[in-house]
Amino acid sequence: RVRAAVAAALAAHPLARVLPELRPAAEPAPAPGHAAFPALTLLGVYQELYLLAQGEGDLWVVDAHAAHERALFEHLTRALGAAPPAELPEPELLHLTPEQTARLHERGPELQAWGLTIEDFGAGLARLRTLPAALAPLNVPRLHEQLVESALGDGPDPRRDVLARLACAPALKAGMLDLGRGQAVLDALAACEHPWACPHGRPTVLRLSERDLAHAFGRRGARDVQRGRDAAPTGGPGVSGS
């Protein structure tokens, strides 16, 4: 159901030609310290970026970019290494800083294990020979440079840095949403193993309980209004006491 919803929602969008298809993990699991993420029903779109949804009786505000980024990140994580690396028709010559060259010597075998082959060419140069097959078709500006910059950056986990960076660029931006795409993003987020934050640590959702909303409006709950139990204010102009 999730795969069909995502495919139908994104098929008409220009990004559909370059975005990887979103697939849920085989065994979605709740993040530590959180309950399982519920299925959400889209109510509307706010400011062309935020999804207003309901689930488990509460109101949810979802950052569509962060949610889509999380779903893409998990898709790329699962797809990495699933196919042989893509060899470039011509090795690409890249300039490296001394720090990047040192990290290449440290990380070369690790990078090659997941499909990224970078060879030291001497004199501050390197040759990029292969890319992970899952990353090669991404329509990301400066894809090769971004791959190398992240893989040879100063972060402790180059693999994660690469995937987090590449998941951000193609994720839906403000103005790209409609109701169909919005629901597809909610479904894809619910299928993630760690749906509560994007790969960079920003939250994907804000949850407002029905109880808190009722309290903010001075009510006991929405059902009291439906059943005629709401106490009418007294003493105001044009309002008679009960």
pLDDT of residue 137: 85
Location of each CATH 3.30.1540.20 domain in the chain: 2-79+173-213
- 137-to-20, 100, 141 alpha-carbon distances in Å: 9, 25, 12
Banded model confidence at residue 107, pLDDT cuts 50, 70, 90: very high
Average pLDDT of span 35-45? 91
- Stretch(es) of the chain classified as CATH 3.30.1370.100: 86-168
Distance of CA 123 to the CA centre of its chain: 39
Number of C-beta neighbours around residue 48 at 10 A: 12
Instruction: Kindly give the interhelix angle for 179-190 and 2-10, rounded to the nearest 10 degrees.
Output: 150
Instruction: Report the percent of the chain where pLDDT is more than 90.
Output: 52
Interatomic CA distance for residues 215 and 209, integer angstroms = 10
Higher model confidence: residue 4 or residue 58? 58
Q: Which residues contact 218 (CB under 8 A, 6 or more apart)?
A: none
Which residues are bridge partners to 126 per DSSP?
94, 120
pLDDT-derived band at 140, boundaries 50, 70, 90: confident
More confident residue, 24 or 47: 47
> Phi/psi of residue 75, each to 5°?
-65, -50
- pTM of the entire structure? 0.74
Per-residue exposure over 5-38, b if at least 16 CB sit within 10 Å of its own CB, e if not: bbeebbeeeeeeeebbebbbeeebeeeeeeeebb
Tokens of 159: 């693999």
Exposed / middle / buried, residue 218 (Cβ in 10 Å: 0-12, 13-18, 19+): exposed
Is the predicted pLDDT of residue 238 greater than 90, yes or no?
A: no
Task: Give 42 or 242, the one with higher predicted confidence.
Answer: 42
Mean pLDDT of 6-26: 37
More confident residue, 23 or 68: 68
For the stretch 135-139, contacts whose Cβ atoms lie closer than 8 Å and that sit 24 or more positions apart, written own/partner, are 135/76, 135/80, 135/162, 135/166, 136/86, 137/18, 137/20, 138/18, 138/20, 138/166, 138/169, 138/170, 139/15, 139/17, 139/18, 139/170
Give 173-213 pLDDT, tens digit per residue. Answer: 988 888 899 999 999 999 999 999 999 999 999 999 988 98
- What is the per-residue pLDDT across 45-103, written as a single tens digit (0 to 9) for each? 999 999 999 999 999 999 999 999 999 999 999 998 788 999 999 999 999 999 999 99
What is the third-level CATH fold of 2-79+173-213? formyl-coa transferase, domain 3 (3.30.1540)
Q: Which CATH number fits domain 86-168: 3.20.20.450, 3.90.650.10, 3.20.20.10, 3.30.1370.100?
A: 3.30.1370.100
